Amino acid sequence: GQNIDQPTEMTATEGAIVQINCTYQTSGFNGLFWYQQHAGEAPTFLSYNVLDGLEEKGRFSSFLSRSKGYSYLLLKELQMKDSASYLCAFMDSNYQLIWGAGTKLIIKP
């Protein structure tokens, strides 16, 4: 079967670093996506990993280990505007996205 799991909520301090983990199980895999979604808005694309390793993009980095079914999103130098939900999703063998429930990230001053 397929499943994907991420924490429901996390809290971090402005200026700090936070890591949001995502684990998944699937027989067919075509990549792992991270999206950011602010309340009342549609998701916006953050990153895509299809090979093992770390992809860095400014303050955000994403890591993938296919053998472990594990990914994380790393956010550095947190800003108040980073308060949002972060959705991980993997693409299955049918090129369909399977979504996690999202992690609500709360940034405190």
Partner 1 sequence: GAVVSQHPSWVICKSGTSVKIECRSLDFQATTMFWYRQFPKQSLMLMATSNEGSKATYEQGVEKDKFLINHASLTLSTLTVTSAHPEDSSFYICSARGGLDYNEQFFGPGTRLTVL
Interface positions with partner 1 (CB under 8 A): 30-31, 33, 35, 40-45, 48, 50, 87, 91, 95-97, 99-102
- Give whichever of 3 and 13 is closer to partner 1, judged by the CB atom: 3
Shortest distance, position 58 Cβ to partner 1, whole Å: 15
DSSP per-residue letters across 18-73: EEEEEEEE-SS---EEEEEE-TTS--EEEEEE-SSEEEEETTEEEEEETTTTEEEE
- Give whichever of 31 and 76 is closer to partner 1, judged by the CB atom: 31
Shortest distance, position 43 Cβ to partner 1, whole Å: 5
- Give whichever of 17 and 104 is closer to partner 1, judged by the CB atom: 104
Shortest distance, position 68 Cβ to partner 1, whole Å: 21
- Give whichever of 19 and 44 is closer to partner 1, judged by the CB atom: 44
For 39-73, letters b (16+ CB in 10 Å) and e give eeeebeebbebeeeeeeeeeebbbbbeeeebebbb
